[in-house]
Structure 1
Amino acid sequence: MPPLASAQPRTAWWRQLYWQVLTAILLGVLVGHFAPQAGIALKPLGDGFVKLVKMIIAPVIFLTIVTGIAHLRELGALGRIAGKAFLYFLFFSTVALLVGLAVANIVQPGAGLHIDPATLDARKIADYAAKAHDRTIAGFLLGIIPDTLVSALAGGDVLQVLLVAILAGIAIALVGDRAQPLLDLFESASAVVFRITAILMRAAPVGAFGAMAFTIGQYGIAALGSLIALVATFYLTALLFVLVILGLVCRACGFSILRLLRYLAPELLLVLGTSSSEAALPGLIAKMEAAGCAKPVVGVVVPTGYSFNLDGTNIYMTLAALFIAQALGIPLSWGDQFLLLGVAMLSSKGAAGVTGAGFVTLAATLSIIPSIPVAGLALILGVDRFMSECRSLTNFVGNAVATIVVARWEGALDRVQLARALDRRGEDAAIEEA
């Protein structure tokens, strides 16, 4: 990945992906509000774009990790990078859960609703509960192992692709010079795949337009109703987490969270429009490498972070669980709340960055907590879509920060290149130069 050029003619604003996606989102809101049926009919545009991006995610992750690990001179560096990454993930996942727990106890958004549990319609969340039933720890661990090496790439499961890529990268590094032709092939394939990604990103405004038009058309701006307090509390809590907690982490590492957000603006708008952080995963990999993070660090931290570093999902789980308990008038002792925190810590691992995954994870958590009925999920089902965007945005920013922090810990961060990248506005140059 070539570094960002220090002096490059600025693209006209209307040709920048940032403004195209932002305009598409605003148009989607207008269409969904004033012509809801037309907005609902546009759903395939958003779904189609997300499918296009998901199509490329497996090869992007595989090639990034394989080439990154194969270039490591010491395989011990791989274990060191992974160890530092998981240490970071564990700490900040716990912080996010505690933040959600604290805000729910202080604000108490569900207090005063006095909903009778007997009136809940459990049929509304039957499908989510069924999916949650399968989310056991053993099932999760066994699910990481693909049936074959090829099926991991064909199926597109991020953790399975990650496992196969790590094994392939280690094997190439161990074989040495004899595997150089294969490594050269993977390097060439990586350039082609990132060029495909750049082509697909041209359709991002269309996908964002369709997804936002559907969301507003289906649920309506006024659909938040009495649950506006929960949605507002979640957004403010996530904003507090990003600007204050992650902001302090960024400051300690010598850069500004606001400059990072500006640098990642096109990807953030894409996540907002599609409610899926997976849609921006290839862009995040390209941007982190362009910002001076070493390729092996990016290859390990970003894909694993998408399954194990879910700050937004963690805040959502504790906040939503306590909201349901408060709305149903179910008192939770501190012991119950810390049990909830511990279960959420385990159940959140492996949640994919796609729409609805956080809701399924919450269902899995509540199914283990006897104090809160799983049927209580029906209370927030109508507004979960609105919170999905915030979950994805927070997860995305958390993984960007984690990548830079781990690269700095590893001594694999080019600070001059990082400063140069963050000084530029968040355009799609990194992907176009890939």
Structure 2
Amino acid sequence: MDRRLTFYILMGMLLGVIVGQGLHMMVDAATIKADIAPWLKLLSDIFLNLIKLLVAPLVLSTIVVGIAHMGDSTALGRIGVRALAWFITASLISIGLGLIMVNLLKPGVGAPIPDVAAAAKAVGEVKHLNAPEFILSIFPKNAFDAMATNNILQILVFSIFAGVALSAIGEKGKPLVRGADALAEMMLQITGYVMRYAPIAVFGALANVVAASGLEILKTYLELLVEFYLSLALLWIILLGIGAIFLGKRIITLIRYIRQPMMIAFSTASSEAALPKMFEQLDRFGVPRRISGFMLPLGYSFNLDGSMMYMSFATIFIAQAYNIDLPVATQIMILLTLMISSKGIAAVPRASLVVITGTLAMFGLPVEGVAIILAIDQFLDMGRTATNVVGNAVATSVITKWEGMLEPEEGEFVEHPHAPAHTAADGRAGLELDPSNYN
């Protein structure tokens, strides 16, 4: 089924480009916008709505079960510290590499300057949170509101409190833990049903974009696209190379397992769309659910490697387009600003553009320059979203290996020499193992 789904997703992507280009060539723009685009967009919007339906209960249940079965608060704290250390390092690598590549390649030199009024209308009102407002926004005042709005960061905070509390009260909390475990399994079963619709959604998403803009948009911005994707490729090499240091040859297996969530993220430009499938594939790779249930939601808020590279790349690109020479000290300040302001943005629509616009305004750069990249942001977003998936998969797998909790992938029955007898399914269902084995 997995290989067939991969094939169908690839076919959906190919047919979406072909049909979109055909419509662009044969039908006038007004007709496409009024009569055709809404139906194509509907195909992908249904899928994204179904995915958003899954996100809140899936994240809540997996984090609660993961923490409740962590064994002790020391293990949780150790994993959290190691995760944050990885996220900060990966963030610096991503943003730093983006700055280096955009300064070397200079894709913004000679870029077309858009109409200021049209740019302001396209970008809309930008709300850039200051540090106190951002910190306050992390803590939910209503857990149900956080879940209703799919605010991953707030759900994460509530779930950590709930998981730690259930672990502390012991036997009294077992019914709720079992209920959360059953909820997680139910949501993953629903995920399997939703994923069967993914090829149709992919077709609709790409056909809609190409029908509206045509392949000419790729030619117009070919230099920016090629150079940005080259930078992403270098970032992939670095992230996977670091992952290989910890995982060895299993890094190849990990790449094979995450290709489906990666393609879903790439074709829909939505991290949420890939999250449920990512849980399933990391289960198969051998990451216990109590680890992935904690790491993935945390990573989707703090470890957006592709988005952070894009933000540094795009900010300097806009300065180059307006022939503004930024000294190294200013670029370093921009790097640090992006490091802070990019955290917790995953739940915000077109979040990267919002952060870029706020950063431009903060440093006195032309905000209207965002409209230069707005026309092809969909194509840029596809690459950075897929990179976010790769970065979070590597981070989760490395931390699991670092903790000594990585199990054999499905289909292998190699027993850990120091672990008690158990099946891979036991570990992924959240059954508690001896914490001494994780040191």
Give the TM-score of the pair, scaled to structure 1. Answer: 0.88
Aligned amino acid, residue 198 of structure 1: G
- The one-letter amino acid paired with 1:382 is A
Q: What corresponds to 1:103 in structure 2?
A: 101
Change (3 A) 1:419 1:306: farther
Equivalent in 261, 265, 272 of residue 259 of structure 2: 265
Give the CA deviation at 1:352.
Answer: 1.0
- Aligned pair in 2 of structure 1 residues 418, 337: CA closer, same or farther (>3 Å)? farther
Match for 2:142: what amino acid?
A: T
Question: Aligned-pair distance for 1:127?
Answer: 6.0
Written as runs of structure 1 = structure 2, the 5 A alignment for 1:11-410 is 11=1, 16-36=4-24, 37=32, 38=36, 41-113=39-111, 115=113, 120-126=115-121, 128=123, 130-131=125-126, 133-242=127-236, 244-253=237-246, 254-255=248-249, 257-352=251-346, 356-370=350-364, 372-410=365-403
CA positional deviation for 1:329: 0.7
Distance (Å, rounded) in 1 between the aligned partners of 2:218 and 2:363:
27
Contact 1:307 1:350 in 2 (8 A): yes
Distance 1:359 1:394 in 2: 17
Distance 1:256 1:387 in 2: 29
Gaps of at least 5 residues in structure 1 are 1-10, 422-429
> Structure 1's 258 and 362: CA in aligned 2 closer, same or farther, altered over 3 A?
farther
Q: Is the 8 A contact 1:114 1:329 kept in 2?
A: no
SS in 1 for 2:232: helix
Pair 179,256 (structure 1): closer, same or farther in 2 beyond 3 Å:
closer
Residue range with higher mean Cα deviation, 199-208 or 347-356? 347-356
Q: What 5-or-longer segments of structure 2 have no aligned partner? A: 25-31, 414-424, 430-439
Cα deviation digits, residues 197-248 of structure 1 (max 9, x gap): 1111111111111111111112211113442211111111101110x20121
Please give the alpha-carbon distance, in whole angstroms, between the structure 2 residues aligned to 1:418 and 1:129: 48
The residue type equivalent to 1:410 in the other structure is E
Residue type of the alignment partner of 1:274: T
What whole-Å deviation, never above 9, does each CA across 1:34-85 have from its counterpart, x for those lacking one?
Answer: 0133456401111111111011100000000001111122112111111111
Measure how far apart 1:349 and its partner are.
0.8
Overall identity of the aligned pairs, in %: 36
SS state of the match for residue 417, structure 1? coil
Distance 1:231 1:35, change over 3 A: same
**Alpha-carbon distance between aligned partners in 1 of 2:326 and 2:91, rounded to the nearest angstrom:** 22
What's the CA shift for 1:338?
Answer: 0.7
Looking at structure 1, the residues matched to 178 and 334 of structure 2 have their Cα atoms a distance apart, in angstroms, of: 48
Coordinate RMSD, CA, aligned? 2.2
Residue pair 2:128, 2:355 contacting (<8 A) in 1 also: no
Question: Could you tell me which amino acid in structure 2 is paired with residue 264 of structure 1?
Answer: I
Question: In the alignment, is the contact (CA less than 8 A) between 2:357 and 2:370 conserved in 1?
Answer: yes
The one-letter code matched in structure 1 to 2:92 is T
Distance 2:388 2:371 in 1: 24
Q: Distance in 2 between matches of 1:70 and 1:278?
A: 24
1:142-163 CA-partner distances (Å, limit 9, x unpaired): 2222232322222221111111
Q: Distance in 2 between matches of 1:342 and 1:230?
A: 24
Query: Alpha carbons of 1:35 and 1:257: their partners in 2 closer, same or farther (altered >3 Å)?
Result: farther
Q: Which residue does the alignment assign to 1:425?
A: none
Paired with 1:77 and 1:58, the residues of 2 have a C-alpha distance of: 25
| Aligned position for 1:424 | none
- SS of the residue corresponding to residue 376 of structure 2 reads helix
Q: Aligned equivalents of 2:325 and 2:204: distance in 1?
A: 42
- State the alpha-carbon separation in 2 of the partners of residues 294 and 80 from structure 1: 16
Residue 378 of structure 1 aligns to a residue whose secondary structure is helix
Instruction: Provide Cα deviations, 1:113-140, integer angstroms capped at 9, x if missing partner.
Output: 485xxx7414424464523x23322222
1:419 & 1:81 partners in 2: Cα distance?
Answer: 27
The C-alpha deviation readout for 1:87-130, integer Å capped at 9, x for no partner, is 10000100111111111111111124485xxx741442446452
How many residues align structurally?
A: 405
Change (3 A) 1:270 1:57: same
Contact 2:153–2:301 (8 Å) recurs in 1? yes
Q: Partners of 1:390 and 1:195 in 2: how far apart?
A: 28
AA in 2 matched with 1:121:
V
Matched, 1:417 2:409: yes
CA contact (8 A) 2:269 2:381 kept: yes
Structure 1 CA distance for aligned equivalents of residues 23 and 348 of structure 2? 26
Code of the aligned partner of 1:143 = S
Contact kept? 1:101, 1:322, Cα under 8 Å: yes
